[in-house]
Amino acid sequence: MKTKLIILFLFCFGIISAQNSNFNSKNLSVSSLIDGTLLLPDTPEKPLLAIIIADSGPTDRNGNQQMMENNSLRYLAEGLYNNGIASFRYDKRIVKQMKDRTISEKDIRFDDFIEDAVKVIDYFKRSGEFSKIYVIGHGQGSLVGMVAAQNRADGFVSIAGAGQQIDDVIVDQLANQAPGLEENARLAFDDLRVNGVAINYSPGLASIFRKDIQPFIRSWMAYDPSVEIRKLNTPILIINGEKDLQVQLSEAEILHNAAPDADYKIFPQMNHIMKEINGNDIENSKSYNEYKIPVMPELIENISTFIKK
């Protein structure tokens, strides 16, 4: 876990998916690349809908990847369901591309994920079945949802979202987790931003700067969360956990400084995947692959209250 950078989840291949039949659920295909699950509670009026957008990598609708089954997004959706809030969570497009063996790493762009999120929001707006639509973005999904929600959604929730551009986030992570690499990373990112390619980087940074992934990283770098969040004209809730090993609390503070009217909540015992951690970093690391541990009830309560008010 010492080097669990956000970017290292970018292309961890394989997907695990599960669904609890005790909920009124429906699997939907919004487009040829977007498959997801709608949880629809029985409500007397048109329900509120939360669209849940996953973190980086080939993350499925439940928050899982190969060798990493924690069901974080599934438990989040089910918790909202128990509070009378409908939800739609979907597989990242690269999940289907990997299954179909059509994925081309060098052709992926950050804007692809924004385009998918926009399609999901518009799909449910056209349906007319929901009274309001909220977007919940987790990790990388925070920035994706932040952009997609502009002039479309009725509210936005950021969970463990970055406040800085991704290159600055990674440099800060390296400074804390791999001292000695951050200066080289900064120079490589600057080359990538200005020249469109980074060549002179340490072998220890190859997972970030390998040739095929550089266009994607550059497209991600083009978005500044502290700028994008100011473009939202709807209620905002910013959430992070003090046990988060991937996203520092300072990132949430940057978002809150950019949107001072937003609701702001820090959970002392919550980690990156929204689980309660009372022990050390070993316990924290193990939780990424413990699929029976629910997300924190306080998180569900906080989000539900925000959406319903």
Size of the chain in residues: 309
CA separation for the pair 147, 32 (Å, rounded):
22
CA separation for the pair 169, 278 (Å, rounded):
26
Mean pLDDT of the 118-137 span: 98
Return the pLDDT at 19. 44
CA separation for the pair 98, 242 (Å, rounded):
34
Residues 35, 54 contacting (CB under 8 angstroms): no
Query: Could you report how far apart the first and last alpha carbons of the chain are, in Å?
Result: 38
Return the pLDDT at 21. 57
Question: Token digits for 106?
Answer: 């060098």
**DSSP category for residue 131:** S
Helices (H), the chain: 72-82, 93-100, 110-127, 140-148, 166-177, 182-195, 206-209, 214-221, 225-228, 249-258, 281-286, 297-308
Mean pLDDT of the 107-124 span: 98
Mean pLDDT of the 56-75 span: 96
CA separation for the pair 232, 186 (Å, rounded):
30
Report which of 103, 77, 65 is spatially closest to residue 159, judged by C-alpha positions. 77
CA separation for the pair 69, 64 (Å, rounded):
5
Domains of the chain: 6-165+225-308 (3.40.50.1820), 166-222 (no CATH)
Q: What is the CA radius of gyration of the chain?
A: 18
CA separation for the pair 55, 84 (Å, rounded):
25
Predicted confidence band at 124 (pLDDT cuts at 50, 70, 90)?
very high
Report which of 91, 84, 134, 62 is spatially closest to residue 295, judged by C-alpha positions. 62
Return the pLDDT at 268. 98
For the segment 278-308, what is each residue's pLDDT rounded down to a tens digit? Answer: 999 999 999 999 999 999 999 999 999 999 9
For the segment 262-281, what is each residue's pLDDT rounded down to a tens digit? Answer: 999 999 999 999 999 999 99
